[in-house]
Every structure is written in C-alpha cells, then in structure tokens.
Structure 1
Amino acid sequence: MTLGAGTVIAYNGADHAGSQVRGNIVSRIRGAVAVLAAVPLAVAAPAPAAAGPKPQKKRSVALGTDAPAPEVAPGGTYTWSFTVTPRGGRKAARAVFRTTLPASLEFVSGKGCEAEKRKVVCDLGKVKPGRKAAGSFRAKVSARALPKREIAPRGVVTWGKVRAARDFPAVRVAGASRAEAAVL
C-alpha cells in the first residue's frame, strides 16, 4: 500500500530501528509500489478529510456605551464614550457610530465625528473582527435643561451590513446650573 510519494508499507513482524511505524507494520521508502504481506489484523488508516474552507462565523457587532457622570450640570460640557467590537467573518469592515442627541444636549466635538443639528455621525474607519474600536464625543448640556430631567441618548453602530443599538447610561440634570451655584 502506498501512503505518499514513494512510501511503502510492508509486514515484517518485527520492529526495525529507524522505522516510522512500530509493531507489525514497517514503513520504508522504496519505489512507487507497495507490498503488503500477511497482516493478521490490518487496520486501514482513514483517508484525510477534504480540507475545505472553514465555515465563516456569523458576523455581529457589539456596542458598549459610557456616560460621563450620574449627574450633569446645566451649561457643562461632558464626554460620552463608546466602544465597538466586531465579531465573526474574516475581513475588516467600516464601522460607523450614530446618535441623535436629545434637545437638552448640543454637540461640541469628537474625533472623526460630524454633526448636523442634533444628529451625530462618527466614522471609526475599517475595523477587523475581534478588535475593539473606541470613540467619544463631547456635548454641552443646555443651560435651560430642566432639573432632575433624565438624559439617555441611544447609540447605533453599523459594521459592514450588521448593526447594534444601545442606550447610554442615564444621567440626571443637577438642580442648579453652575452659574446659579456660584452665586449661592
């Protein structure tokens, strides 16, 4: 029986030094012909499975969000951060984060972020599966924001054709603005 290019297996009944197989079957390199003689219990080696491409994992993306503090002051500027973690697939894809700010927040800045009115779009570039991409934007709390009002913007990320959405942790507007607190 030939196992590969020029590998011959023959029954010998003894172990030979330098052989590749121990026991009743001895392997030696000879020609392209295989000789197999009286093997009491021959066990055929399974044929190697066809090595096809691995099935791709289903692509998905996870979005993590973080708020600046449990309480924000009217007129204050705060950073809202987020992380994007793509999973599955083999290729990198473009990641884009989007949010619509509530009326009590006004966009100030953010790396790779642009805003039109209250809609904020942050381009994180191409991200490989399994790698995290972090981003953030700064927003100013309106001086007219009502005290004790809860602010919890919703973020949405797309990575290629998949998307995920998540609310930022809720923050509350403090009872008095910074200017009012300074006067008191």
Structure 2
Amino acid sequence: MGRTGAQESQALDLFKQAEKLWKKEQYQESEKLYLKANSLSPTWFQMKDLATNKMDMRDIKGANRIWDISINSLAIKGKGKDQYLAYWFKMQENINKGSSKVAIETGIQLLKNPPEGQDNMFGFWQSPGMSLHFTTIVEMAFRMEDRKSLVILKDLLKSHKNTNDIDFYISIYLKMLD
C-alpha cells in the first residue's frame, strides 16, 4: 500500500509532536501520537526513538512491543531495508539493555523470515554489525544453556553466506553443552 506525500508529512508532524510530549514526560499521549504517525507512514527510525526511550525507562516489554509494531508495519513491499534495520536495532537494544531471550528470539525470527531484498545479511558491506549481533546472541544462548536455540540458529544460518565463524562458535558451544 503506497503512502502519499500528505500522509508522510502528517506523520512527520505527529512524530515531532510526540517527541515534544515525551520530553514533557507526557508518555501515554506521546506514545499514542507515535503509533498514529507510524500507521500513516511506517518508519523504523522514528519508532526507534520511542522504543529506545521505553528501554531507557526499563520498560523492556513496552519497548519490544514497539519494535514488533514497527517490524510488522514495515512488512510491505519496498520496505525490506527498513524492516531489516528495525530487527537490527531491536536485537541491539535487547543485547545491550533488554532481554537476552528476546534478542535470541528476534535473531531466529529474522533468519526465518528475512525482509525483502535482505538475502545476504552477513556480507561485510551489507552489515558488519549483523555478524557481531549473531555472535553475541549465540554466546547468550550458550550462557543460558539454551541448546534448542543454538541448534535452530545453526540450522538457519546454513542458508546464509559469510556465517562460517558463527557456525564454528555454535559447534563449539554445542560440544561444551554435551
């Protein structure tokens, strides 16, 4: 579904209003405007602000709900790169300040359903950070003794290029868990 210039302009105005309300600590009203703006014209970078703010307030469930809304709203033709970035930042926020379990689940979800046009997510020029994120979530799964997630990640990574180093770590971690 295409967005009109008027919708994009209206969404941008709403995002700006939402940002001002957040700074005034009017969080509920701000969130409503963020969500309304996103429904008019989905964008990962504006929703990133809301999700990051919620994460900073230690509202991890709320932040992940916002990321899920953003990821789902970007599952439209022509928004593959934006959806990829929403996944990327959701993983990053959960690795840094959120839930290890959600970071792992997000990585698995991304591998199962790569966004449109994002078939080679691990190439150096595509995203050097993606390999680091997956190496980190593999380590998190190992520390949690989450063998099931390690096996799923190992299987899913087989269909992606430039993942030999991650596969190597998974193999070692699985042997250590045996």
Say yes or no: TM over 0.5: no
Q: Specify which structure has the higher proportion of strand.
A: 1
Q: Specify which structure has the higher proportion of helix.
A: 2
Q: TM-score range with shorter-chain normalisation? A: under 0.3
Q: Which structure ranks higher in relative contact order (CA pairs < 8 Å, sequence separation ≥ 6)? A: 1
Greater radius of gyration (CA): 1
TM-score normalised to structure 2 length:
0.20
TM-score normalised to structure 1 length:
0.20
